[in-house]
C-alpha cells in the first residue's frame, strides 16, 4: 500500500529504532518539522548520494531539544520503518519541501542465534582492536542495527543493508564484513608499531655466520 511522506533527503542511512540528532536550519525543513510536530506525522529521509536513491527511512520526531530565535531547531528523531520510493516531487504543492509516495518494506526476523553470537564475538574483537571497547559494550547489544554505524561501513554498505528484508541476510553481511575487517585492522596496528620503532635506539643481535 502506497503512502505519501514529506521528504528530508540526507546523505545518511538511518536504521529501524535508531535515534538521530538533527540541526534544522533551512526554511523548507523548519516548515516540515513544525508540521510533523503539530500534526504528529512522520517524514521520510530518502538516502542521497549523487542523487536521490530508491530507499530511505521513515522518521518520527521524538523531541525538539532546542528552538533558536531564528527558528532553527535541534531535534531528535527515530526511524520507524524502511521504505522504497515510488514517486518524488521536488516541491510539494503549497509547501517548501519535497515529498512523494512510498511503500514500506516488510522485515523478516529470521536471524540464527548462533550467527548473532558470532557477530558479537567478532564485534568484540573489532572494538578492542580500535580501542573503542570502553565506549561500546558489545555484550549489551540486542540487535544488529545497533552495530552498523560503529563498524566502519561505508554509506554504500549501509545502504545495501538498509534494503535487506531478512535479518539472516544482515547477519551474513556483518559476519563477512567483520571477518575481512579484523585482519586488515590488525595489520594496520602492526604497521603503526613498526613506524613507532623508527628513530628509537634498538639493540639488534649481530648475525652469526
- What would the pLDDT profile of 20-54 be if each residue is shown by its tens digit? 999 999 999 999 999 999 999 999 999 999 899 99
Q: What does the pLDDT average to over 182-208?
A: 66
CA dihedral of residues 130, 10, 8, 17 (deg, nearest 10): -20
DSSP 5: E
Which pLDDT score, from 0 to 100, does residue 207 have? 47
User: Cα-atom radius of gyration of the chain, to the nearest Å?
Assistant: 22
Which pLDDT score, from 0 to 100, does residue 102 have? 98
The total domain count for the chain is: 2
81-111: per-residue pLDDT in tens?
A: 999 999 999 999 999 999 999 999 999 999 9
Q: At residue 208, what are phi and psi to the nearest 5 degrees?
A: -110, 125
Give the model's confidence band at 205: pLDDT under 50 very low, under 70 low, under 90 confident, else very high.
Answer: low
Domain boundary among 61, 84, 104: 104
Q: Are residues 84 and 12 in the same domain?
A: yes
Q: Are residues 13 and 98 in the same domain?
A: yes
To the nearest whole percent, how much of the chain has pLDDT over 90?
75
Q: Considering only residues 88 and 203, tell me which one the structure prediction assigns the higher pLDDT.
A: 88
Query: Which H or E element spans position 204?
Result: none
Is the entire prediction scored with pTM above 0.75? yes
Query: Which H or E element spans position 113?
Result: helix 113-129
What are 5's three cell numbers? Answer: 511522506
Query: Which H or E element spans position 140?
Result: none
Q: Which domain range does residue 87 map to?
A: 2-104
Domain boundary among 81, 104, 127: 104
Q: Are residues 85 and 168 in the same domain?
A: no
Does any domain span residue 23? yes
Average pLDDT of the residues of the chain: 91
Does any domain span residue 47? yes
112-139: per-residue pLDDT in tens?
A: 999 999 999 999 999 898 887 777 888 8
Q: Are 44 and 8 in contact (CB under 8 A)?
A: yes
Q: Are residues 29 and 98 in the same domain?
A: yes
Amino acid at each position: 500500500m502506497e503512502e505519501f511522506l514529506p521528504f528530508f533527503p540526507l546523505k545518511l542511512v538511518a536504521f529501524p529504532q535508531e535515534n538521530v540528532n538533527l540541526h534544522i536550519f533551512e526554511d523548507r525543513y523548519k516548515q516540515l518539522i513544525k508540521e510533523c510536530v503539530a500534526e504528529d506525522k512522520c517524514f521520510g529521509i530518502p538516502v542521497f548520494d549523487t542523487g536521490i536513491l530508491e530507499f530511505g527511512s521513515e522518521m518520527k520526531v521524538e523531541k525538539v531539544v532546542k528552538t533558536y530565535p531564528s527558528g532553527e531547531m535541534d531535534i531528535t528523531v527515530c526511524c520507524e520503518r524502511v521504505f522504497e520510493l515510488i514517486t518524488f516531487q521536488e516541491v510539494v504543492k503549497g509547501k517548501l519541501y519535497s515529498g512523494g509516495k512510498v511503500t514500506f518494506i516488510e522485515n523478516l526476523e529470521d536471524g540464527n542465534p548462533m550467527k548473532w553470537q558470532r557477530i558479537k564475538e567478532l564485534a568484540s574483537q573489532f572494538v578492542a582492536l580500535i580501542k573503542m571497547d570502553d565506549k561500546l559494550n558489545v555484550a549489551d547489544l540486542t540487535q544488529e542495527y545497533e552495530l552498523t554505524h560503529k563498524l566502519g561501513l561505508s554509506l554504500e554498505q549501509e545502504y545495501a543493508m538498509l534494503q535487506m528484508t531478512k535479518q539472516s541476510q544482515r547477519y551474513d553481511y556483518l559476519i563477512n564484513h567483520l571477518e575481512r575487517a579484523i585482519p586488515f585492522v590488525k595489520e594496520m596496528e602492526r604497521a603503526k608499531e613498526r613506524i613507532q620503532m623508527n628513530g628509537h635506539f634498538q639493540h639488534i643481535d649481530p648475525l652469526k655466520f
